[in-house]
Amino acid sequence: MKRRSLIAILWLFFLSGVMSFRAGADSGSPILTLTIDDQITPISSEIIRQAIDRAEAEKAEVLILELSTPGGLDTSMREIVQRILSSLVPVVVYVNPSGARAASAGFVILLAADVAAMAQGTNTGAAHPVDLTGEMEKHKTLFTKIENDAAAYVRTLAENRGRNVEAAEKAVRESRSYNEVEALNEKLIEIIAKDRADLLAQLNGRKIRRFNGQEAVIQTQGKSVVAIDLSWRQKLLSFLVNPQIAFVLFAIGALCLYFEFNNPGAIAPGVVGALSIILALYGFHFLPINVTGVLLIALSLVLFVLEAKVQAFGILGAGGIAAMIIGGLILIDAPSPELRIGLPVVASVAVPFGLIMIFLLRLAIAAHKMKVVTGDVGMIGLVGVAETDLDLEGSIFVRGELWRAVAKTRVSKGEQVRVTGIKGLMLEVEPETALSPPKQASAVTLAEDGKAEAHQHSGSDL
């Protein structure tokens, strides 16, 4: 009995050791997943490159990039492609979930993957270079060069990945788009998977040829799946790099700073304004900025100031709003419409911004033109009452306060005085009667004086 118990215990130790070994093996080569569901920007490039670095450091079996993007910046796209091609770990690009797309720059990233996969109800393609200037006919040769360069780039990727070169080139030259079935039939992708579990099942045991010509086999069975979470910095930058958000933050910051400059000590508007401006500029510096757009926005601010100072009947203000709208529309020099600031956002910011700015400016100008009623200067001209006899010096009560005062002539207690100057904490005053114009004799006064004079004459006759 004891022998059987001992054997059972040994078997338990053996089995636990095997399970620990398998768990250790799995943890040593996990499957990493990363989700990108926004425009391709420098932040997207940084996130993907860091994910590949982590996959290499952890010796991951494969990195699955779940992609949903309308496109983005060419420079960021090329950085991502270069990192995928040089990755020591196989990279699978999976257009997911259903309804997602990998358009424009996303299509090129899909072509660069070791394995290209799409979920049901997705599409890809439409990678033709976009004309932002509206002068394609004028600079036809230049745009032809850009198109040829993009076509050559996708041809190279498709050829080295064993995909359909002609179909890939059509996505560039003809803006051709493909749904998941068409992409599979055209041999642009290898897998259609309904979800991640289906994708992992189809990847298991699949032989692939890396970009450098080496062959590898992907093993997904029994591997742990680890999702890569974005850091708080990456989440913040992904939020700020949205041009719509950056533009709104810039407008709010400008208004708050203007209010703070005109009302020193309010503190809160200054803090909010400075923080908004800094965050907006930090977001803008990741985006391709059009200098003309910046100049138009600066011009709009100048026109708002002039409208408040000059009676232009709203012409300058309307010009400022128009300049801000046009400047906002062309501020971001990006091929993807999602990376540019849309007209609804620009108009909803520019019109209220212009009206509020003009209103605040006019209030400030009107306040500067008003007579000073506070401080030392505001005391001059006020009328007070002598609290003591002013034999050159004494006390007066003016504007609810007791002041030391000096007068050139004697002033009796209770007599009204007017402030004519200030020296330090001493007021210079004069009797109010001395500064008042002489009273004109009224008819009643003249009549009374006449009666008094007549009475005196009659008394003398007696």
CB atoms within 10 A of CB 16: 10
Residues 145 and 412: their CA atoms lie apart, in Å, by 97
Say yes or no to pLDDT of 373 above 70: no
Does this model's pTM top 0.85?
no
pLDDT above 70 as % of the chain = 80
Pick the catalytic residue from 145, 194, 235, 413. Answer: 145
The CATH number of 371-456 is which of 3.30.70.1350, 3.30.470.10, 2.40.50.140, 3.30.565.10? Answer: 2.40.50.140
Q: Are 129 and 335 in contact (CB under 8 A)?
A: yes
SS3 (DSSP) at 310: coil
pLDDT at position 343, please? 85
In the chain, domain spans: 25-231, 242-369, 371-456
Q: Is 452 left (phi over 0), alpha (psi -120 to 50) or beta?
A: alpha
Q: pLDDT tens across 107-126, in order?
A: 999 999 999 999 999 999 98
Judge whether 145 counts as a catalytic residue: yes
Say yes or no to pLDDT of 27 above 50: no
Say yes or no to pLDDT of 445 above 50: no
Taking the domain 25-231, which CATH number applies? Answer: 3.90.226.10
pLDDT at position 207, please? 95
pLDDT at position 377, please? 64
SS3 (DSSP) at 149: helix
Residues 376 and 380: their CA atoms lie apart, in Å, by 8
pLDDT at position 450, please? 47
Q: Kindly tell me the burial class for residue 154, based on how many C-beta atoms sit within 10 Å of its own C-beta (0-12, 13-18, 19 or more).
A: buried
Q: How far apart, in Å, do the first and last CA atoms of the chain sit? A: 164
Q: pLDDT tens across 289-323, in order?
A: 888 988 998 888 888 778 767 766 678 878 888 88
Judge whether 27 counts as a catalytic residue: no
Pick the catalytic residue from 45, 68, 104, 238. Answer: 104
Q: Are 163 and 111 in contact (CB under 8 A)?
A: yes
pLDDT at position 193, please? 97
